[in-house]
Amino acid sequence: MNIPFKSANILLPKNVDMTKWSVVACDQYTSEPEYWKEVNDVVGDSPSTLRLTLPEIYLESDNVNERISEINNTMEEYVNNDLFVEYKDTMIYLQRTQNDGKIREGLIGVVDLEDYSFEKGSQTLIRATEKTVIERIPPRVKVRENALLELPHIMILIDDDKKDVIEPLSRLVSENDKVYDFDLMQKGGHVKGYKLNKDIIDNINEKLELLADQNNFNKKYGVSDKGVLLFAMGDGNHSLATAKTCYENLKKTMSEEEYLNHPSRYALVELVNLHSEALLFEPINRVVFNVNPEHLLEELSKYYDVSYTECDGQKLYYVYKEKEGYLWIKNPKTNIAIGSLQLFLDDYLKKNDGKIDYIHGDEVTKNLGKKDGNIGFVVDAMSKNELFRTVILDGALPRKTFSMGHSYDKRYYLESRKIK
């Protein structure tokens, strides 16, 4: 079988302050401009991935096109100034020490976008785990379509309960293989990376082939009529969808031979085992801005049968102004509370003014929810062990259903790859 995860020509910076180089994923802290100001102050004039990516807090700013142009120019500048070392045809095994001290292991390589789809009902080897919001893709395409480099914050999951693929790598690498080892800024912990040789990569491929075997898959999940789900999206769902969209657009301008051999056919990602003890599923809360909270809750009670006293139903915590408490949805429309809430909020915001944001962290949600004209909702996390089975049987979850850990434990930009 042709496994759609491969080695790549990976770029790493040389002779730079790595702590200033590496910044957190652009889709974090989207309602906290003070965080990004702090990052900018830390980075100063040093070379940094902050200058190569667009924090999504600025995605709707008036000068977004100028920001994107500056990003593209900086990519060219860094490459022309010989800022990078290129490690050819390799994968990188990494150990990320999180803020809580736990070590999350990962594997950097490229996925083949020919084997990925974010379409509903897809049976491809690489699949979205949550609904992809098509409207969110075009602004992100603008960032990628003229970029010389890609920098991944995408994390893709494998369901390797035997821990055969990534975990053995710690015993197979040595100090001579190390390509980075440094502290991350802003409570990000520490990260080490090791380049892998061909023998190790071949062994990884063999282990992935076992996970991708149709008979093994059928037995594991108790199915007989489903395509193998080998790689499930963890973080960066819309980033991978953007890479796919850019590749599909490129295909329209090239012959088949040209596009199948073009670097944009692939996307650089980090592979993580769902069963890593360091990997925790955190809920993604909701804050609705510029609304009348009382009116929103009244409409929620019309949309669903809602109780404010404990009963059988899906539980949500709400907070606005000086008020907070729990409510229960007695007649939900999805299997999980966040899905039922999202259906209502989508419907409400079609008919009323307001804007929704997806917030990591209960305290941040409560603080934002208490501000005038806002309301916050805090939800419970789903069990990570149910992820693959749910996606296989039911398809993609509602968007922003779960998050893998706290914002500061997200993937930090570090490695890059030429896509032109």
User: 270-283, pLDDT tens digit by residue?
Assistant: 999 999 999 988 88
56 closest CA partner among 35, 34, 21, 25: 25
Q: What is the share, in percent, of the chain residues with pLDDT greater than 70?
A: 100
The pLDDT of residue 404: 85
The pLDDT of residue 159: 98
The pLDDT of residue 415: 98
Q: Does position 1 have pLDDT exceeding 80, yes or no?
A: no
The pLDDT of residue 29: 93
Sign of CA dihedral 284, 290, 294, 298: negative
Cα–Cα distance between 115 and 154 in angstroms, integer?
16
By three-state DSSP, how is residue 28 classified?
coil
The pLDDT of residue 186: 97
The pLDDT of residue 21: 98
Which residue is listed with tokens 């602004």?
139
Q: How confident is the model at residue 134 (pLDDT cuts 50, 70, 90)?
A: confident
Q: Does position 400 have pLDDT exceeding 90, yes or no?
A: no
CB atoms within 10 A of CB 309: 7
Q: Does position 385 have pLDDT exceeding 90, yes or no?
A: no
For the entire predicted model, the pTM comes to 0.85
Please state the rounded mean pLDDT for residues 303-319.
97
Region of poorest pLDDT, from 280-289, 372-381, 396-405: 396-405
Q: Which residues is 296 bridged to in the sheet?
A: none
Q: Which residues is 325 bridged to in the sheet?
A: 318
360 closest CA partner among 411, 409, 300: 409
